[in-house]
């Protein structure tokens, strides 16, 4: 069974991003970039399924500028077998990403499509759902457990106040949540070996997909600064402040 995993290059989760002076976007010049953390979890899950003998080939796909190649090399070092890079410097909205991934899926015919539940830069949480709809495939979002049983995949999903397990027909699109697994630490020999693994390139036009954005960002702003807290010395003082300063009681 073939698994396709989508990996996005995003600003590293440890970086505190700054907004550009003109408020048009966040400034990503000279900041550390990494694989989207939820995509790392998706790759790890595919690799574990391969190690368990349930998946035979893992294809990692990334869409974006030239440097997305680095993200693909990380996926290859984690255990993906080959990579596909759809190279574009254009801004990609989730619908365009879903259309591009669909076109790759049409070529590759994977039975499992693993994505992150959301990209930590746009926080859209849309691509997996749109991809499943475009492919007319089943979808299991926010997965915290994935099991392949016969011709189905059992996905345990994180839902409000608990978990839900659904049985999906294949092909299925699954989006990885935080508790699905803990991604492995990539070792140097694997990084070296990943350099020799195949990486194929396409452009959006090769795939016949129009990536023209359907929206534009009006404004990006920093969150409002919170006022410094004060320490109260007694319950009476707290009640007095809540009543007369915050006016919430």
Find the binder of ligand AMP among 34, 62, 74, 156 (CB under 6 A).
Answer: 62
Q: Scanning the structure block, which residue is given the tokens 């990486």?
A: 199
- For residues 215-239, one letter each, b for 16 or more C-beta atoms within 10 angstroms of the residue's C-beta and e for the rest, the string is eeeeeeeeeeeeeeeeeeeeeeeee
Per-residue x/- mask for ligand AMP, residues 81 to 120, rule CB under 6 A? Answer: -----------x-x--x-----------------xx-xx-
Find the binder of ligand AMP among 3, 4, 34, 36 (CB under 6 A).
Answer: 36
Residue 79 interacts with ligand AMP (CB under 6 A): yes or no: no
By CB under 6 A, the residues from 174 to 233 that bind ligand AMP are none
**CB of 205 or CB of 242, closer to ligand AMP:** 205
Contact predicate 173/68, CB 8 Å: no
**CB of 6 or CB of 168, closer to ligand AMP:** 6
Residue 51 CA to residue 184 CA, distance in Å, equals 13
Structure-derived torsion over alpha carbons of residues 175, 176, 178, 183, reported in degrees to the nearest 10: -160
Nearby residues of 235 by Cβ (< 8 Å), 6 or more positions away: none
Residue 8 interacts with ligand AMP (CB under 6 A): yes or no: yes
Per-residue x/- mask for ligand AMP, residues 119 to 158, rule CB under 6 A? Answer: x--x-xxxxx------------------------------
Token pair, residue 66, equals 């030239």
Q: Which window, 14-22, 56-64, 72-80, 151-159, contacts ligand AMP (CB under 6 A)? A: 56-64
Q: Which residues on adjacent β-strands are paired with residue 58?
A: 3
Q: Scanning the structure block, which residue is given the tokens 């915050």?
A: 246
What is the nearest approach in angstroms of ligand AMP to the Cβ of residue 120?
Answer: 8
**CB of 38 or CB of 202, closer to ligand AMP:** 38
Contact predicate 11/121, CB 8 Å: yes
What is the nearest approach in angstroms of ligand AMP to the Cβ of residue 70?
Answer: 13
Beta strand 26-27 with 18-19 is: antiparallel
* Chain residues in the site for ligand AMP (CB under 6 A): 6-8, 36, 38-39, 62-64, 92, 94, 97, 115-116, 118-119, 122, 124-128
């Amino acid at each position: 069974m073939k698994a396709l995993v989508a990996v996005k290059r995003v600003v590293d989760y440890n970086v505190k991003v700054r907004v550009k002076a003109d408020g048009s976007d966040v400034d990503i010049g000279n900041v550390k970039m990494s694989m989207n953390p939820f995509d790392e979890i998706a790759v790890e899950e595919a690799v574990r399924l391969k190690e368990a003998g349930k998946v035979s080939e893992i294809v990692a796909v990334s869409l974006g500028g030239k440097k997305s190649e680095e993200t693909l090399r990380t996926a290859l070092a984690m255990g993906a077998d080959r990579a596909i890079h759809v190279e574009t410097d254009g801004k990609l909205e989730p619908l365009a990403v879903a259309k591009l991934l669909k076109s790759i899926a049409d070529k590759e015919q994977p039975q499992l499509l693993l994505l992150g539940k959301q990209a930590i830069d746009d926080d859209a949480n849309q691509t997996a759902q749109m991809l499943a709809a475009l492919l007319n495939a089943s979808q299991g979002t926010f997965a915290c457990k994935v099991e392949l049983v016969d011709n189905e995949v059992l996905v345990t999903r994180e839902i409000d106040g608990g978990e839900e397990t659904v049985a999906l027909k294949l092909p299925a699109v699954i989006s990885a949540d935080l508790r699905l697994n803990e991604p492995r630490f990539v070792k140097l020999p694997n990084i070296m070996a990943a350099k020799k693994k195949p990486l194929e390139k396409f452009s959006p036009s090769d795939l016949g997909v129009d990536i023209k954005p359907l929206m534009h960002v009006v404004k990006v702003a920093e969150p409002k600064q919170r006022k410094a807290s004060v320490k109260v010395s007694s319950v009476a003082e707290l009640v007095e402040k809540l009543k007369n300063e915050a006016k919430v009681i």
